[in-house]
Amino acid sequence: MDRTPDMTAADHIEQCLSRIARHEPMIRAFAAFDEEVVRAEIARVPKSGPLAGLLLGVKDIIDALPYPTASGSPLHEGRIPAADASAVAQLRAAGAMVAGKTVTTEFAFFSPGPTRNPHDLSHTPGGSSSGSAAAVAAGFVDIALGSQTAASITRPASYCGVVGFKPGHGCYSLTGVGALAPSFDTLGLLAADVRTVSAAHAVLAGTMPEAPVVEARAPRRIGLCRTPWWGQAETSTRQALETAARLFSADAEIVELDLADFAEGARLQAAIMAHEAAQSLFAEMQHQGKMSPVLHRMLVGGTRISRHDHLGNLRQAEGMRARMAGLVADYDILLAPAAPGEAPSGLAATGDPVFSRLWSLLRLPSITLPGLTGPAGMPVGIQLLSARHRDEDLLAHALWAEALLPARPRPMLRETGQTP
């Protein structure tokens, strides 16, 4: 939280709203933002609770009244949901205040919205949780809901220099969240630090009010995963991974893991996603004129994967999950690249998901940590992962890792006079 200890909750909120007023015209993190609605929300939400005083951004595939859920598509523009998503209801009941809906790529796939990277407005923030990552990086909100099917939390967290937590598949309720590929769709959190993520995680995952607070804990053994896609890692990502491994080796044994056996994982993830997305977006697919060519191509590709081949892909994915469960059991956490490098320049694409596809296929909990930077001074994240159903252990180790990494880079938000 961007909040000094002696700042009152009211001052903190005013500071966030003032940052939004100044910088949102350039950053464009919000798909829907209305200061009057936010002020009514602030007046209404309970002042107690584990998330009291925190402003929340909600990715625009997730229902949050009174806003429509447009899912980054003209096809869903103005769609007012019947109710809050369960996760939004849970966070609101814990004291969080919805600041607005954050920009998503079209249906959480690749076609970008207008959001810019707060660290350099000429660079992509990554996607699909583009607005959530940018809003946290710019200090507009304390925490944001995002979602990941391929790389949609990990990559924007890495590019925007914030913490991005994707819990194990199935951990948070998806009621009121637009589906892309249910085999992988996972709701997650973006925030400035691990402690804020952990507080919101306890609300979303635990249904007990007395959910235990996560304490920092050093891992004994870390599996270092350069992954079969290491050849696609830029120098900045290679250096970030080596730097993190060196810092972590002060407390933990680092063992390099060969994931050559998992090289098919990226292809499998893409094929299963395409087939399932063609089911989820069946009705939308009939309106080619209101859909980006990149999404339409993916969906048509999905319909061309025969049922026989799709079932074969699902069986291969299950086999890989079983193999990874055996491998990861010997390590407290895995350390892996989060993205190929710094955020690419330009806003026409959101970067390459290659370093997350395997992990999304395997359904492991993942957290991306900021602190390291590349040659342009832009953030480069690292990714930690744990075994399935070890989300709280991962958060405890992430608290430890965060303390060893440099402080996250803060964007230098300037008055550029640029029109977005």
- The residues of the shown chain that bind its own copies, judged by CB under 8 A, are 76, 79-84, 86, 89-90, 93, 170, 172-175, 178-179, 182-183, 204-208, 211-212, 275-276, 278-283, 286, 302-307, 311, 314-315, 318, 322, 388-389, 392
Which stretches of 45-138 are DSSP H helices? 86-93, 130-137
Cβ at position 192, least distance to its own copies in Å: 24
Which has the closest alpha carbon to 50: 198, 174, 215, 217?
Answer: 198
**Distance between CA 8 and CA 5 in Å, rounded?**
8
Tokens 């997730």 -> residue = 62
Cβ at position 277, least distance to its own copies in Å: 10
Q: Are strands 186-191 and 253-256 parallel, antiparallel or unpaired?
A: unpaired
* Helix-, strand-, coil-residue percentages of the chain, each rounded to 5: 40, 15, 45
Which has the closest alpha carbon to 413: 55, 99, 105, 120?
Answer: 120
Cβ at position 107, least distance to its own copies in Å: 11
Q: Burial-class residue 273 by CB neighbours within 10 Å (0-12, 13-18, 19+).
A: buried
Which has the closest alpha carbon to 121: 23, 34, 31, 191?
Answer: 23
Residues in the chain: 420
Q: Are strands 55-59 and 97-102 parallel, antiparallel or unpaired?
A: parallel
Cβ at position 397, least distance to its own copies in Å: 16
Cβ at position 14, least distance to its own copies in Å: 29
Q: Which of 73, 111, 128, 366 is catalytic?
A: 128
Whichever of 91 and 244 has its CB closer to its own copies, that residue is 91
Structure tokens at 362: 């395997």
Which has the closest alpha carbon to 60: 140, 145, 134, 155?
Answer: 145
Cβ at position 220, least distance to its own copies in Å: 20
Q: Say if residues 46 and 95 touch (Cβ distance below 8 Å).
A: yes
Which has the closest alpha carbon to 217: 248, 171, 255, 257?
Answer: 248
Cβ at position 83, least distance to its own copies in Å: 6
Whichever of 172 and 229 has its CB closer to its own copies, that residue is 172
Cβ at position 105, least distance to its own copies in Å: 18
| Virtual torsion, Cα 165, 166, 168, 173, nearest 10 deg | 110
Helix 194-205 to helix 86-93 angle (10° resolution) is 110
- Is residue 59 annotated as part of the catalytic site, yes or no? yes
Q: Is the dihedral of CA 203, 205, 210, 216 positive or negative?
A: negative
Whichever of 212 and 346 has its CB closer to its own copies, that residue is 212
**Distance between CA 285 and CA 246 in Å, rounded?**
48
- Is residue 198 annotated as part of the catalytic site, yes or no? no
Whichever of 167 and 409 has its CB closer to its own copies, that residue is 167
Q: Which of 59, 130, 236, 356 is catalytic?
A: 59
Q: Which of 73, 132, 152, 356 is catalytic?
A: 152
Query: How far is C-alpha 399 from the chain's CA centre?
Result: 18
Residues involved in catalysis = 59, 128, 152
